[in-house]
Amino acid sequence: MINQLITQINKLKDSEAAKTIDTRIKEFEQQGKKKEQDVFSELCFCLMTANFDAEKCIRIQKELDRAKGFEILPQDKLAQELKKSGHRFPNTRANYITQARSCSLELHNAIMKKDGQQMRNWLIENVKGLGMKEASHFLRNIGYKDVAIIDFHILDLLEKHNLIKKLDSGFNKSRQTPPQNRVGFQPKAESSGELLKPEESENLPIIKSKSLTKDKYLEIEKILKNLANQTNLNLAELDLYLWYLETGKILK
């Protein structure tokens, strides 16, 4: 249940992983204060991560940043570069990125003038290719701390601790990375091992499909907000703690 997860998180606070998480949060805060092209690059990174490996997206982002590819390459050339770099969906992502260029300035001007919920809604309405998770991911990566990134790993962890119930194992694995622990860091989270009473199980949020509806996303986000409050973390910090517990890695 939630108490065991709280204990695992609190134990991590005195580890090297916690120091890395603190550093990463500061990097996110600085990213949101950078120039328009830097913020746009982060948006492109999050557009690329849906159903694709985050570590590979980080590498592609660095390669394209050097040539200002996100900003200037025509759609067909950008698709070629994404394909050459090994992206799974080069044509679709190139389309999303080139369309997003038109709102880059407006996005940059709006940063931190709206709260996370308002900005997330704006992003979903104005940037093709961004859903609740991808928009939340982008906002976290530029310094927002009040939205949750709910992906496959987070859902898995919540299910292990009897906080949700999944009816389908084929979930979206964005930000996917093989479970692998860093040397000297805490092991991957174990299942709580606690059996629920029938009435408790019936009250769990039920996840029925690979993609979350907005209402279901917000329902799970409330669970994470409660967990954040009980561990004295914001949602940005909590995401990194949970993702580390589940994968042994701290990315972005």
Catalytic residues: 133, 151
* Rounded alpha-carbon distances, angstroms, from residue 39 to 54, 69, 84: 17, 14, 24
According to DSSP, the β-strands at 206-207 and 165-166 are parallel
Tokens read off for 184: 């000297």
Query: Do 247 and 55 form a contact (C-beta atoms < 8 A)?
Result: no
**How far is the C-alpha of 75 from the C-alpha of 79, rounded, in Å?**
6
The amino acid at 187: P
**How far is the C-alpha of 56 from the C-alpha of 102, rounded, in Å?**
26
Tokens read off for 217: 């996303």
**How far is the C-alpha of 96 from the C-alpha of 39, rounded, in Å?**
16
**How far is the C-alpha of 83 from the C-alpha of 90, rounded, in Å?**
5
Helix (H, G, I), strand (E, B) or coil at 109: helix
**How far is the C-alpha of 217 from the C-alpha of 249, rounded, in Å?**
24
Tokens read off for 158: 């919540």
Return the H-helix or E-strand segment holding 134.
Answer: helix 132-141
